[in-house]
Chains A and B, each alone.
Chain A
Amino acid sequence: MAQCVLHKLVSSDSLSEEKLDAILNIASIYSYAPIKTALNFGFLVRRDYLNYLESQGHQIVDVRTEELQEEFVNQCDISHINSFLYLPLRKNRNNELLVAAADPYDEKLVTSLTVKFRCKIVLVAASDLDITWLGHKLRGGYFVKEAVFSLMKKHPESSALITFTDPQLFFIFGAIAFSFILLIIFFKPTFIIINLMSSIFFLFSILFKLYLALTGSKSELHEVVSKSEIKGVNEATLPVYTILLPVYKEDKLIRKLIWNLRSLDYPKAKLDVKLLIEEDDDKTLNAVRNLDFPANFEVIVVPFHMPKTKPKACNYGLFFCRGEFLTIYDAEDVPDSDQLKKVVCQFRKLPEEFVVLQGALNYFNKNENLLTRMFTLEYSYWFDYMLSGLETLDVPIPLGGTSNHFKLSTLIELGAWDPFNVTEDADLGLRVFDNGLKVGVVNSTTLEEANNEFFNWIRQRSRWIKGYMQTYLVHMRNPARLVRQVGWRGFFGFNFFIGGTSFTFLLYPILLTFFVIYLIFKFAFIRSIFPDWVLYISIFNFVAGNVLMIYVNMLAVFKRRYYELILFAILNPIYWLMHSRAAYMGLWQLITKPFYWEKTNHGLSKMSSTSAVVTPE
């Protein structure tokens, strides 16, 4: 049997025989080098391991600064480098090939490289993270290009690379020009029509949301998978589950992340966890390097390529995934501990056409400040009621940022995420429907960190709204085709839910200004422009819309029993003004820099997520 460093660790009593067996077993499942398995599945502390190598007389080379002859690296496949953690450096004077390896005792690696390079191989010890970093940087070029352009090549009509198509530009400018001409020629009637259309749209959009919330709340207690079913799951039958964790400069959250992952009730050997780190993100890489306890994830370094977005990182990560199912979490996420098992059970129960399940998102720092309270109310009705409502009505569901669980093979067939879309998740949810497949909702919650800082919130929200606009434009390139694929109900649902959401936020301050001018200041010129019935309808729509939206927010607290938040819903009009501010920022960016990813800073919360780990009752 080929020897490796782990055997040495066993012989020095630093590792038990049982653990070694477990490591070798996992390594055979994933086709990984044993050392990679040991470092990525929580068996060894990375820092201790390097200390051990040094104690054994190995000098740890810094591959990033080492002289490198690329002709050798170029002969290696990134998947192989990634699985076996080595990197050919250069030949020495003795015609021996120096290879940096995480395990300098790996006999199997030496044998395979000797065959490959037909020369003597000399392994030198190096940090697995540095090898991974340089390996992906040098050999990840093809994959990263695929990650960026694959969807565009396969399904150009679904890519947001082109923000506005020519017909869309023609339509938008045509509508603006037409309105201007009408305003010049027939100012009053045109103004009245615009006013009426806006206010009616506003009310309908909110009525639709209320309808969705009510429909969703009807199935509040409906559980597709019961707790006893989850308890009865035979763990041997569970498939490998991939978890993607795209991060960027989240060094402060790495410890939390490991803690949260540990709380997942799923066989550790079957968790294929990928931490996706950008090439220039040394902060996070060093945080992983400096951990003083075993990590339970594998680091994938995403080579630099524009656009630098989360979907691009996820697409890149897909090339290295081993799971049957896949989900995405953010670094600070605290999923329900039984979430993965629940998803597997639910997928087994649902028809084949269900290829994605969206989990509910909520916040662990809900009581931190006013913003987090409002955010919690919003997320509660969105994920607990709206999405259930959309599912019940069979209307396209825009996926949330995290906790969406995919069948991996279908995800790849669909072209995965669009790296040019800044709400790639929402877009993907709609693409699923476009392809005649279905998105379901799983009754399981992931707690996140609510944005607790105003400008950070505005940036995050502007990206979301911009993404909704992008998604709307992409899917409305051919409305007739969309109707054919999702039906009239899906089409209207899409227009009111995706298009309507952004549009209402843009509209809101205008209607509010009108309301204030008319009702509070009672300016006479308003009455001279608009007949009474127009004012009546406009005020009715605006006030009714606001009251209903407050009401929808209030409904949210019931399922979660966040009763103390109910009165905060009254502040929804102010919260909507914040949305409007973000919507205009998003609109401006959609025109000026559509692919720019407004980074949201995480880890700002002073509240701990560890206390919020949710365990099934």
Chain B
Amino acid sequence: MKKLVDKYINGFLALVLLVFYLIMSWILHRTGYEHSENLFIAEKIKILFDAKENTLVTLGTTFPTMVFLSSLIFTPFGYLFSPIISSIALSVTLYFTLLKDFKESSRLPAVVYIPLLSLLFFLHPGLIYSAISGRGVAAILIFFYFLFRSLFRYYQTQTTFYLSMASIYLTCLVFSDFNFIWLLLAFFPFIVLVSLEGLKINKDQAPISQYLESVNNTSQRRKLTNRAIAIYIILFLLPFGALLLFGYLNDNHAGTSDYFINSQYANWHVLGNVPIGEVIATPGTNASFQTQLLFQFYVLLLNPLLILAFFYFRGKLYELFTLLAPFILMTILLINLQFYFIIEYYLIFLILGLIGLSFYAGKKFTKKATWFLVFTVGLLNVFTGIYYFKMTDDAEEKQFYSAIKDYKNWLKVKNNSEEYEVAQFISNIADINNKVLVDDAAAFKIVAHLKSLEGIELPISKSFGTVIENPISGVRYMCVAKRENRLKNFTVLNSYNLNVMQSRGQFTTQLMFESDNWVVYKIYSIED
């Protein structure tokens, strides 16, 4: 019986977590919560399968995003639900992998690591959010975990396999969030330290002395440089090769080589990353935490498990520097801080803490007091997760937290989002003879909710340029972003441009539907 439990316990727990996340996502959906990244991906999938022309630009340019790719697999569950089930699947996989890795490493007994991981995945609001929001956070976390796990395994085994796998996961991570390309600089210290390991120098002296010894000797310097460059290339060739490849393809099929990174039609981060200036300008903000000096400490305080991991890795210099690499990454990003850091930039440190504990310098946690300590710190991590959501300035995270917190409203009548209401209206009026002009750069949430793309004129359409110049020639209705709409500057169909179009004197408008951020107009030719 014990053997049977041992064999299937991880799978069983993963299944329970899957059910838990499915129920939570259903509840969250009932409250009307929909994350914009979820809708962005859903909309791209809808275009891919339902649009009649130019789907290649959609597929070819959005395709490199891991969250889009993983969501494609779950399309049979529905366009809107596929990103959510994809992030649930990735989160459950991460949970299962962690259980498996903790079991294999046997640093902690099952009575500690199973409750610890279950506590985090069932109760940590950040991990629940990453699983059920339909965002790309789960993809970031799992590839981040696999990347660092591969690096630690490389240290243990010194086999090229793990270095190659690290490179593959790094590629996936970069294609989950482009900012991770800056690990290129963040990895520098530990790569140099790892390279020092392979040299025939006095290993008893301090690392800095080892470094000085190696750079002052021609032969050792050459070896150090060669090895460091080799590790660098092996780690970064695939991400750079992939970026180069998609740069080529974007250049040829979308007009610019960075379309998949910088276009609002291809990458949610262009729209979703809120400029830090915008956040700081808001009264009562906590964004001051994201100043260069404080931020790393703030992150560390929010992830006590990582502090514990650091403690156990003392004296293991290059492993310690591996754990420090994401901090260096944050420092690099803070040099030219442009956007407000959201949950993934905190959760990666929680994952890092778990990696640290599972690989803990090759030693085992044998004392029961340590077990208690690890579990207590894990519990503390759940509370710091709640604290994060209390303090966050990201509107969608705030919305998530209040939706989860107000459990009394969970089973009440479902609230429909603003975009859903607009989409319902458009679906009722649009047909082949009464086309509606919609720019999904900002209106992607509306498009995601449309019943069909029949009668919708989108930017992927070859005639879109003509229609924008002279709307009356191709459409009967226009969906326009109001002045209050945060994304108004990302779309040509905003109130300002409408005035410009109208000033040409070709058409007049009649307001048909209005919400907080959107207006649907019917347009008439001046001649009519």
A residues near B (Cβ < 8 Å) are 213-214, 217-218, 220-221, 385, 519, 532-533, 535-536, 539-540, 543-544, 547-548, 550-551, 554-555, 557-559, 561, 563-564, 566-567
Contact = CB atoms under 8 A, between A and B. Distances in A.
20 contacts: A214-B161, A214-B165, A217-B160, A217-B164, A220-B157, A221-B158, A519-B248, A533-B56, A536-B56, A539-B249, A543-B248, A544-B245, A547-B238, A547-B242, A550-B237, A550-B241, A554-B233, A559-B160, A564-B222, A567-B233
Contacts of A564: 222, 226
A551 B230 contact: no
A353 to B, nearest CB: 27
Interface string B52-77: 00001000100000000000000000
Contact of A217 (B159, B237, B252): B159
A555 B160 contact: yes
Contact of B229 (A539, A551, A566): A566
Interface residues of B, number: 30
Interface in B213-231: 222-223, 226-227, 229-230
B234 interface: yes
A558 B163 contact: yes
Nearest to A384: B160
Given A536-B60, A551-B241, A558-B163, 6 more contacts: A519-B252, A536-B249, A544-B245, A551-B238, A555-B164, A559-B160
Contacts of B56: 532-533, 536
A213 B163 CA distance: 12
B252 A535 contact: yes
B78 interface: no
B244 interface: yes
Contacts of A218: 159, 161
Given A221-B159, A563-B229, A540 B164 contact: no
A555 to B, nearest CB: 5
Contacts of B164: 213-214, 217, 551, 555
B115 interface: no
Interface in B147-161: 157-161
Interface of B: 56, 60, 157-161, 163-165, 167, 198, 222-223, 226-227, 229-230, 233-234, 237-238, 241-242, 244-245, 248-249, 252-253
Nearest to B245: A543
A563 B252 contact: no
B249 A217 contact: no
Contacts of A554: 230, 233-234, 237
A432 B158 CA distance: 33
Given A535-B252, A536-B56, A551-B238, A221 B157 contact: yes
Contacts of A539: 248-249, 252
A561 B230 CA distance: 9
A253 B226 CA distance: 34
A547 B245 contact: yes
Contact of A547 (B158, B222, B229, B237): B237
Contacts of A532: 56, 253
Contacts of B157: 220-221
Nearest 7 A-B pairs (CB), nearest first? A563-B226, A547-B241, A217-B161, A558-B160, A563-B230, A218-B161, A220-B159
B305 to A, nearest CB: 30
A220 B237 contact: no
A97 B233 CA distance: 75
Contact of A563 (B160, B227, B253): B227
Contacts of A558: 160, 163, 230, 234
A555 B252 contact: no
B6 to A, nearest CB: 26
Nearest to A534: B56
Contact of B253 (A213, A385, A536, A557): A536
Contact of A566 (B163, B198, B230): B230
Instruction: Give the residue among B157, B241, B244 with the most A Cβ atoms within 10 A.
Output: B241
Instruction: Give the residue among B163, B164, B198, B241 with the most A Cβ atoms within 10 A.
Output: B164
Contacts of A563: 223, 226-227, 229-230
A218 B163 CA distance: 10
Contacts of A214: 161, 164-165
A548 B241 CA distance: 9
Contacts of B244: 543, 547
Nearest to A213: B164
A555 B161 CA distance: 9
Instruction: Give the residue among A213, A221, A536 with the most B Cβ atoms within 10 A.
Output: A536
A555 B165 CA distance: 11
Contacts of A540: 245, 249
A557 B160 CA distance: 9
Nearest to A381: B160
A551 B159 contact: no
Nearest to B251: A519
A555 B164 CA distance: 8
Nearest to A559: B160
Nearest to B57: A532
Contacts of B241: 544, 547-548, 550-551
B507 to A, nearest CB: 33
Nearest to A515: B248
Nearest to B232: A566
Contacts of A543: 244-245, 248
Contacts of B161: 214, 217-218, 220
Nearest to A518: B252
Instruction: Give the residue among A535, A548, A558, A563 with the most B Cβ atoms within 10 A.
Output: A563
Contacts of A567: 229, 233
Contacts of B223: 563
Contacts of A220: 157, 159-161
